[in-house]
Structure 1
Amino acid sequence: MTERHAVARVRHELRRRLLTVKTAERLTPQMVRVTLTGADLAGFVSAGYDDHVKLCLPLAGQDAPVWPAGPDAPALPDGTVASPMRDFTPRRHDAEGSELVLDFAIHEAGPATEWASAAAPGTTLGVAGPRGSFVVTDDFDWYLLIGDETALPAIGRRLEELRADVPVIVIATVAGAQEEQSFETATALETRWIHRPLASASDPAPLLDAVAALTLPEGEGYIWIAGENDTVKLLRKHLVEERGHNRTWIKAAGYWRKGSAGFHENHNEG
């Protein structure tokens, strides 16, 4: 019998894959959905809704991703520039259909934004991982999912995978009504969209105020938080120290920090 509220860390074989864009579409003005396919998807596993894969993003002029040198990769020839790497959440994986879906939040100029904005059928992308999964048993009384645009892929996937009729509250900041998404879910979902300019995405106040005003449901709940690093830390501190929520039933991760490229930091200590 599975332990109640069990959390498991599952390790996966780390492989580098070369995939090809099947379709690319704008979900919203600032969110691009890319569906990838290819024979290299055989054996791909993503067991957790907030897994991360490493994307190797071809630069302009590169016909295919150039993996950086490493323990399992040869040194690059002189003058060869490695493609930049970024962490992304697998939004959906269809093993039978050999498809992997990724959602890209389009922000300031950067390799992921540039690649996703130009992605078209036939474009190639390198994908490595996930190295492992953090699997949370779906037996909590309720769930609270908090984040900004960068958290929406994991939030959407979690909503699709949770059991029917379980209460879920989503609190998410986006640039405006045009950036709100519709999620396919069997849960009893309550979504609270908070609008703020994209230029103010690093301001913690909108999410902090919304969470502070929220009355948490009765029973044992699991809280997931992701987005701007300082905002995530403040939200976790509020929920643990001021609201008294069980710290082992919160997972928090900084997906980005202003001025830092390729940033990711977990905040699940003590």
Structure 2
Amino acid sequence: MNAAYQGIHRVLHEIKRRRLEVLRVVDLTPRMRRITVGGPELADFISLGTDDHVKVFFPQNATEQAALETWVPGAKDNGPLPAMRDYTPRRYDLVTGELDLDFVLHGDGPASTWAAQAAPGQFLTIAGPRGSMVVPDIFDSYLLIGDETALPAIARRLEDLAANRRARVVIEVENAGEQQTLQSPAQIEVTWVRRDAPEQDLLRTVEQLHLPEGNLYAWVATEAALSRRIRKVLLGQHGLNDEFVKTVGYWKQDDSAED
């Protein structure tokens, strides 16, 4: 195992339930809404990995709300809990006591339904992250592939890179209106793959990529089956090192997206 691989490590965190107030609601695009929450219970929140996830809870009635309020993380029998989804902490600031969560408004499911009506003064309960997979900025270049659900993690990774790094980014979105401006000290090249353009296809785009040179770390997050197909292309066609390719399924076909 080489030194670069040894630098990648997992850190476990104490899981806490936090009831946070909605402070701001901003539409980044027609289908992406940033909800900023905060409050005293955000104190000692920690997220060391750019693709960390917190559990966000969406009670639908008084019974589920009561169960959530008495829930003890780690207990064996907490009773029925409300629906929950995983979301990437897009940004957090313990000085101002703020946490940004970006929601895809896809029109159904408890998370999207809640986010569509969210307003300052409401409350949201989160827990986690359970742990962080820390990937130090020790690579020459990065390949980041995903869809809307992966945008918070991709944007956060890009912002953390050093100026002497290179990043190749491929993101699938619904249409041109969903393209966001991505910031990074590194040299980045971004390709947007639009679903409303029949000639564009995420897998085919990955197959045709020219990858940056040097030590490369690849991260992929999209629909589960598609992520597996992309991994095969990266390992088989592009010859990437399996140790430095992380692929995850953020959602499954016909299921609600997590991020």
TM-score over 0.5 (shorter chain): yes
Maintained 8 Å contact 1:59/1:83: yes
Maintained 8 Å contact 2:149/2:257: no
**Shift, 1:218, TM fit:** 1.7
**Shift, 1:82, TM fit:** 3.8
Report the AA paired with residue 160 of structure 2: E
1:42 aligns with 43
Report the AA paired with residue 84 of structure 1: A
SS, match of residue 21 in structure 1: strand
Q: Deviations over 1:19-47 (max 9, x none)?
A: 11000111000000000101110110000
Q: Deviations over 1:58-87 (max 9, x none)?
A: 3377896852867538755xxxx7421111
1:14 aligns with 15
SS, match of residue 87 in structure 1: strand
Any unmatched runs of 5+ in structure 1? 265-270
2:195 aligns with 196
1:131 aligns with 2:130: yes
1:211 aligns with 2:212: no
SS, match of residue 4 in structure 1: helix
SS, match of residue 108 in structure 1: coil
Residue 179 to residue 261, structure 1, CA distance change in 2 (3 Å):
closer
**Shift, 1:197, TM fit:** 3.7
Report the AA paired with residue 83 of structure 1: P
In structure 1, C-alpha distance between the alignment counterparts of 2:131 and 2:141, rounded to whole Å: 25
In structure 2, C-alpha distance between the alignment counterparts of 1:61 and 1:31, rounded to whole Å: 29
1:227 aligns with 222
TM-score scaled to structure 2, two decimals?
0.90
SS, match of residue 239 in structure 1: helix
1:177 aligns with 2:176: yes
1:4 aligns with 2:13: no
Maintained 8 Å contact 2:90/2:100: yes
Identity, % of aligned positions: 43
Report the AA paired with residue 20 of structure 1: E
In structure 2, C-alpha distance between the alignment counterparts of 1:150 and 1:231, rounded to whole Å: 14
Q: Deviations over 1:191-240 (max 9, x none)?
A: 10111149x9xxxx811111111111221100000010111000001111
Question: More deviation in 112-121 or 253-262?
Answer: 253-262
* Counterpart among 75, 100, 112 of residue 72 in structure 1: 75
Alpha carbon RMSD of aligned pairs, Å? 2.5
Maintained 8 Å contact 2:65/2:82: no
Maintained 8 Å contact 1:14/1:131: yes
In structure 2, C-alpha distance between the alignment counterparts of 1:60 and 1:19, rounded to whole Å: 18
Report the AA paired with residue 142 of structure 1: S
Maintained 8 Å contact 2:64/2:81: no
SS, match of residue 201 in structure 2: helix
1:252 aligns with 2:252: no
Report the AA paired with residue 137 of structure 1: P
In structure 1, C-alpha distance between the alignment counterparts of 2:14 and 2:83, rounded to whole Å: 22
TM-score scaled to structure 1, two decimals?
0.87
